[in-house]
Structure 1
Amino acid sequence: MSRPQEPHRPFFHFGNPFRMISPKGSHLSPKLVALLNTFEETLAGRLRKLNPKDKDDVLSLSWMKLAMESLCGTHNDIKTLISEIDLPVSDWDEKWIDVYLDISVKLLDVCIAFSSEISRLNQGHLFLQCVLHNLDSTSSNQFIRARSSLDGWRHHIGSKNPRVENCSTILDKLVESLDLPKVKNSAKGKLLMRAMYGVKVLTVSVCSVFAAAFSGSAKKLLDLNVAETYLWAQAFNDFQGNVNGEIRNVFSSGRFMVLKELEAVDGIVKELYPKIQDGVGLAEGKEFRSSISDLESKAQKLSQGLDLLTKEVDGFFQILLTGRDALLSKLRSGGAVSDQMLAGNVGAQVVR
């Protein structure tokens, strides 16, 4: 895929990752090294799976669903890792916890913004149902209603969602949190911070792609520069370059819709609109009926895809929410991190 053709947001540099994994006074045992390598290799595999083989796969609803599944899956990997290294909450640095709580709130806000936009797009399906219902008749009044519903759909889809527009500010704050924390005299803590960094990079990158898609603006995209010393660095750079590059190419061509299923519906709407204006005389034509059938199938595919994506975003939200509750509960009790706690604590922890 070609590289971006328009100005974009600068790369962010995060320094040497080994500065925090192997300073004086700390050493990773072979077991911890093996756990870390397994985690990073799994993350690399998830990134390669997300890297689209065809540019037309970029920002299809099925790809976005896969992206959310990858986030949740990687959060589960962190849960497993924390359980295996057996790091008590009492050993967590107070600074880590404060930053984690702040970042988890920001991610909850991002999830709410995405859920509201998916819901808004799905509401547009009501306009399309009205169009299809009214085009079942050859009455001129029904055609007028169908045209009105198409106008309503175009206005609804073309409007902006303030919550999504505000995502850029939140994402910029999340980028600031990516800088590696200093960990002293704790091999497990260093391993945890390094692993969390990988999931934070994936989370911020995916969220920036979603924000760009939902806002219709390539300005929402973030370009993150990851040191080559991570086992997943090359997979991430390939993923980021292909996905961000294709999205920028789409926008530079003058298209404001990058969601494939939404664009497909919009194409049929643009095709039908002038035919409806020409009157009921076309209603019995084969080409006209074919356009209606095409609209029905594409509208259904869009609605189903949005429903599936809603479930994934809602699931990610619940991971973040229950994670905060679980960590706060453990902090109050002063206990260690248990498997039961981690079952709901993964998502928020990884974005420390």
Structure 2
Amino acid sequence: MSKPQEPQRPLFPFGNPFRALSPKGSRLPQSLVNTLNDFEESLAGRLKSLEPKVAGDVLSLSWLELAMRSLCDTHYGIKNLISTLDLPVCDWEEKWVDVYLDISVKLLDICIIFSSELSRLNQGRLFVQCGLHNLESHSPKQCDRARSFLGGWRKQTTSRNPKIDSCCSLLDGLMASLDLPKVKNSAKGKVLMRAMYGVKVQTIFVCSVFHAALSGSTRKLVEINVADSFPWAASFSNLRTSVNDGVRSCLASGRTITCKELEVVDANVMKLYPMIQDGVDAGEDVCFNETVAQASKSLETLSQALELLTICVDGFFQIVLSGRDALLCNLRADSKASHQKVRANVGRLAI
């Protein structure tokens, strides 16, 4: 007996974004088409620039910084697009506002989680820094202290931040938001929703790679399929394939420390630790001194990478927070103006 055929999967598992954007018989004014094209072409360029030249480079703090900077630029871009559209908040449909506020609070929570993990990694970096500092004196007592600090690094790298797991439900919520609200009788609204779709796709993708890099798990890497009608679809598809394949390949090798800068520091610490354990004469052993120098150099690279990435994550947090605050302030102002208008009308009727 033949098996019944499975129903064909929809092209857009989270809803068709074009149903809201291009209803039958509608045409956008050319000025709005130009505004949208400029935004989408810029998005395509940013996505293309994120493609790693080497597959393994994606699991590095430097690539994550590049991705977060690109994401900040995209969110600045949507902010400028909204200004160009000159679409008053009072004209925003309630469902648009609800979707925006829901997305923004999830992004703020994700930023807090990422910042927490970066702070934890920085604490581990301080263990190594203190350990190397104590080795400068070459005294047995200081070597014992150095061994204790390097042991702290080893414990830190083998532990896990439970907050990272909280990202999973947040990412699921962001994926669900890809289903665009329907837009009726608003050309500017159609442009806004289409542009917002691109913002959400890049945001979800970057956050999913962040989660993979910081957790060492690929279970939340996203496979969003974007329709060819979007000018940035090819750039995103190429980026998604190269990055996701690179992440899966690296993590499949069994790496316990995912980010490249951390891995280099750990390799030097693992080489240095037994030397201290065996009581090496630090003043005479050439191999020991070379290892200390390599550890110091790799630690400096890690320090810079952590600092820059932390600044980028904090910057993205501020962009999302300021946009959310601006929308809420405008909503309150519109509500107050409407209330005053109603009171004025009632006053005129009473005369």
2:56 touches 2:250 (CA, 8 Å); kept in 1? no
* 2:55 paired residue number: 55
Displacement of 1:135 in angstroms is 1.5
* 1:349 paired residue number: none
* 2:124 paired residue number: 124
Please, which runs of 5 or more residues in structure 2 have no aligned partner?
1-10, 336-351
Alpha-carbon spacing, 1:113–1:331, altered in 2? closer, same or farther (3 Å): same
Q: How do 1:1-352 and structure 2 match up within 5 A? A: 13-24=13-24, 26-281=26-281, 283-334=283-334
Displacement of 1:140 in angstroms is 2.7
* 1:346 paired residue number: none
CA distance in 2, matches of 1:112, 1:63: 20
CA distance in 2, matches of 1:63, 1:211: 13
Letter in 1 for 2:215: S
2:261 touches 2:302 (CA, 8 Å); kept in 1? yes
1:212 touches 1:218 (CA, 8 Å); kept in 2? yes
CA distance in 2, matches of 1:322, 1:265: 37
Q: After TM superposition, where is structure 1 displaced by more than 4 Å over at least 4 residues in a row?
A: none
1:25 touches 1:185 (CA, 8 Å); kept in 2? no
Letter in 2 for 1:144: D
> Which has the larger Rg?
2
Partner SS state of residue 59, structure 2: coil
Return the TM-score normalized by structure 2: 0.89
Alpha-carbon spacing, 1:35–1:196, altered in 2? closer, same or farther (3 Å): same
CA distance in 1, matches of 2:332, 2:55: 49
CA distance in 2, matches of 1:326, 1:22: 29
* 1:4 paired residue number: none
Letter in 2 for 1:67: A
Displacement of 1:243 in angstroms is 0.9
2:56 touches 2:247 (CA, 8 Å); kept in 1? no
Please, which runs of 5 or more residues in structure 1 have no aligned partner?
1-10, 336-352
CA distance in 1, matches of 2:252, 2:164: 21
- The worse-fitting range, judged by mean Cα deviation, of 128-137 and 177-186 is 128-137
RMSD: 1.7
CA distance in 2, matches of 1:139, 1:331: 66
- The worse-fitting range, judged by mean Cα deviation, of 190-199 and 140-149 is 140-149
Displacement of 1:144 in angstroms is 2.2
* 2:343 paired residue number: none
Deviations 1:105-141 (A, max 9, x none): 1110000001111111111122112211222233333
Deviations 1:23-51 (A, max 9, x none): 14642011111111111111010000011
Instruction: Work out the percentage of aligned pairs sharing the same amino acid.
Output: 60
Structure showing greater relative contact order (alpha-carbon pairs closer than 8 Å, 6 or more residues apart): 1
2:43 touches 2:232 (CA, 8 Å); kept in 1? yes
Return the TM-score normalized by structure 1: 0.88
Deviations 1:249-295 (A, max 9, x none): 11100102221111110111111122222213365211110100111
Letter in 2 for 1:291: T
Partner SS state of residue 21, structure 2: coil
CA distance in 2, matches of 1:26, 1:333: 33
- The worse-fitting range, judged by mean Cα deviation, of 298-307 and 134-143 is 134-143
Letter in 2 for 1:189: G
